[in-house]
Structures are given as C-alpha cells and as structure tokens.
Amino acid sequence: MLARWSSWGFVAFAPLALALRDPQTVYDALSAVLSPGSEISLASDDTYQKDFTPRYNFAQAPTYSIGVTYARDSNISILTTGRGHGYTTSLARVQGGINLDLGKFDSIHVDSGAKTMTIGGAVNGYQVATALQEAGMEIATPQCPCIGFAGASLGGGIGPYSGLYGPISDSLLSVDLVTADGRLLTVNETDFADLFYGIKGAGFNFGVGICFTFRIYPATNSGQAMNADMTFVGSQSESVWKAVEQLAASQPKELAFGLSVRYSPDPALKGIMIAANFIYAGPQSEGKALIQPFLDLEPQGVNISTVDWKDIPSVANGGAITNYGCIPGVYYIPYSLNLYQVDVPNLVGVVNYMSEAIGADAVLQGTSIVWQQYAPHGFQLQADDSSAFPYRDAKAFVQIDILAAHASQAPVLTNFGRELRDLLQRGSGRDQLDVYVHFAHGDEGPASWYTAERLPKLVSLKETYDPTGMFSWYNPAILATTQHYTV
C-alpha cells in the first residue's frame, strides 16, 4: 500500500523485505521506495550525526541503525522525532530501530484573517512564537522554545499562556496523520472524531503527525508581556509557599508563574535558593501589583521588564531555559507529578529535606524542583471529556530535574529523585500519582499518564488504529507486548 502527499514529497510504504535484520539490506529497501525529497542514512554514517536532530537527553536513550525521513513497517521498531526533546525512559525500549526524523517538515503558514496557523511536524515553539508575533497573533506555547510544537500538542502542550487558552491541544483544528497501515488521514472534529479526541493529549499512540492546523488568537496587550525574576534564600521557604497559596486562590488568566528550588554555590544564598519567575500578559503596572506579596518578602536580584511575547523563554529566569534546556547531549534524570493543592507544611518539609540531603552529598547538587502554575481559566474553557488531555484541574505541574555529571551517578540520583517525588506526592491532594505525560519519567504507567478513567477509550482507539502496537514507545496507552524486529 502506498500513500503519497505530493506537496511534501512524502511516502508511506510496506515493503516485505523490511522484516530482515541486516541494516544495509533495510537501507537498500528504503532507498528504493522513498520519495526524492527524503534522506536516509545508517546511524554509523557521518550524515546521520550531521543531518538528523540530536537528542536533548542521552540517558535511557533509544538507539538506531538507520535514520529516515519517513518509513513504515510493522515488523521494525520505529520512533518518530521532530525536535528530539522527549526524555522519558520509555524510549530506551527502542534499540536498533528506525528513526523517522521529520526535520524537513518545517513550514509555517499563518492566516490572520481566518485566525489559523498550519505547521509541519518539526517546527519548534520559538518558530511558532516568532511567526505569530509578526502577524499580531498568539497561542499557548511550551515554556521551552526548542521543543517541537506539534509534538507538544500531541500530549496536550502547556505553557505560560495556557491560563488564557488552555493546553495547546485545545486549539488544534486538524491533523494529517499517517497510521500504522500506511493511510494518510485528515483528522478533525467531523472526520475521525473519535481519533481526534485521542490525538489531543495522547496523539503519539496512533500515528505520525505531519501537518497540524491550529486556531490562533489576537495578541494580548499588543504582544507585550511583563517578565519578573527574583530570588529567595532557602530560609524564606515558608513565606514563599504561603505567598504561592495566596496567589493560587485568585490567579488571573493573564498570569503564570514558576519557582525553581535548587542548590546555589553562592555563600549569600546559603546553599538552597528559590528562583521565582512571573509572566503577565498585560501592563507591567498591573503585573507588579499582582506579585506585590512576593516583593514584600524583599527578594534578591529583582529584575522586572516588559518584553515581546515571543522572547519570554529567552529572558525568563535570566534566560536559563534557553541557555540550559535547549542544549542537546545532557544526562538528564527527570521525575514529575501534578499537585492539586498548595500544602505549605509539606512543601517546606520537602525543601528542608532537599537542603539537608544536598549538604551531605555533593553529587545531588544538580537537582532542582521546578514548579509551574497556570491560571485555571484556560483549562476550563473546554469540557473535561473533550479530549484525552486529562489534567485540567491540576494546581501545579512539578518537575524534579536532575542532571548527572556522568552515568555512574545515575543510581544515586535516581533514588533521590524518587524520594523527592514520593515526598511531594504526600501533599498532592490525590491518592494516586498523576503526571503530565511529557514530563513523565516513564515508570509511572498509563493510568498516571492518562488517568484510569480515560484508559478504556484510549485502549479501544489503539486497537482500532494501531492494533500491532507500532506506536508504543513513548509513554504508550498500552505497554507493548508484541515483539518488533530490530535492525
């Protein structure tokens, strides 16, 4: 079966020879059927290192024998990459597979009159923000600008303007999706509506998205936003969390904020510091009034400015996200969970435990707890059952970011990450562990990524559109049991 989308020079195919394990044999078979605009290389070739997107996290990484722009065969492990930023350990189950790099699907078309944007599967968040800023439009974008925008939307997609518009997937209008059997489907609210539900929050379970159309919105505050950074010492932890609790009770849709609890070598900060960042889609005067309870705590290093909306990632937290979150090739051990309340005593206890542990073992100094809190307004614009995105009532999305200097530190850091996650979970407001799928470590399981309530519907969709489990490597709704050949 062949399916061609001529405008992209793209072919989906099923040559029988691909069941063979020899990389050169597979290379020859793919070369014979790929469209002229495609590229194929063995992973050992210099062209693979030069032309294919490098991974952000090389801990628990998949391995490849061949990289192609697009290929399909149900007997070979295939993992599609847009920007290569996913870091879940579930990806390590792909060994010797085929990398489908969508790097050439990089177009952006903005129609301000129709209030729509159409992009290819490899466009990143900063490219989207830049194009929309120029057009006087906006949309919710990931906090990290180098993340693939399409890939983020397949898992929901959250960021500073989610308080205005909800997860990115709520703005999704249509997806061109290649399924496991080689069909090219245009999926939206009227065509394949059941699949459209699943794509918005669990989309990587069902196929390869190559073209995405989104609803976009006129720029808020003429495309300008307040960015405010400040730093607190660890001994101010209780006061900071009380201010967070106060702000969470009445957080306006235009305000997003985050905290990063981490070790600092600066003696003035006495080990643990809490860096706070506030983004307000409105006049600076209004934003400063909203964060006055934090300013009253007399933080250090206060920096408040008005910036273009597209530049938020490059200035927030002193540019830390752009400078450190977009550099490929780090050994990164992530843990995460959703919180549904601000439990001040528990959070103070976690910070104290973190301080004591890091003080006793310098290996743990690369650990930080990152708290992201968006206003509930945007998440409540659509009904809870409108999509597979499950966490519209989360108070905060919390990441435990751990960087290792080398792989030998992984066992100690892994144990510490789990300890911090367990401690935070005690004050989460829920008995079960819930985690935003793009932040997941990989050990939580489908019920944590998608909720037990949504799983039956997602499993049914999986059985309909991917019965062989071809797309089962990135935090799948069904943990793969079928054996795929590797090359």
**In a shared domain, residues 170 and 207:** yes
- Distance (Å, whole) CA 407 – CA 67: 25
| pLDDT at residue 306 in the model | 97
Q: How many domains does the chain have?
A: 3
**In a shared domain, residues 212 and 128:** yes
| pLDDT at residue 23 in the model | 60
Amino acid (1-letter code) at residue 298: E
pTM, two decimals, is 0.85
> What is the DSSP code string of 173-207?
EEEEEE-TTS-EEEEESSSSHHHHHHHHHHGGGT-
**In a shared domain, residues 330 and 183:** no
| pLDDT at residue 346 in the model | 98
| pLDDT at residue 103 in the model | 73
For residue 40, give its domain range: 3-101
Within a domain: 87: yes
Whether residue 280 contacts residue 255, with contact meaning beta carbons closer than 8 Å, is answered with: yes
> What is the SS3 assignment for 48-67?
HHHHCCCCCECCCCCCEEEE
**In a shared domain, residues 264 and 143:** no
**In a shared domain, residues 91 and 128:** no
**In a shared domain, residues 79 and 157:** no
| pLDDT at residue 12 in the model | 31
**In a shared domain, residues 342 and 238:** yes
**In a shared domain, residues 182 and 260:** no
| pLDDT at residue 68 in the model | 42
Cα 228 off chain centre by: 23
Place of tokens 């996650």: 421
Q: Which residues of the chain have pLDDT under 50?
A: 1-20, 56, 62-74, 481-487
Within a domain: 484: no
User: In Å, what is the CA distance from 12 to each residue of 30, 41, 50, 100, 182?
Assistant: 10, 17, 24, 11, 5
- CATH of residue 175's domain is 3.30.465.10
* Number of Cβ within a 10 Å radius of residue 142: 27
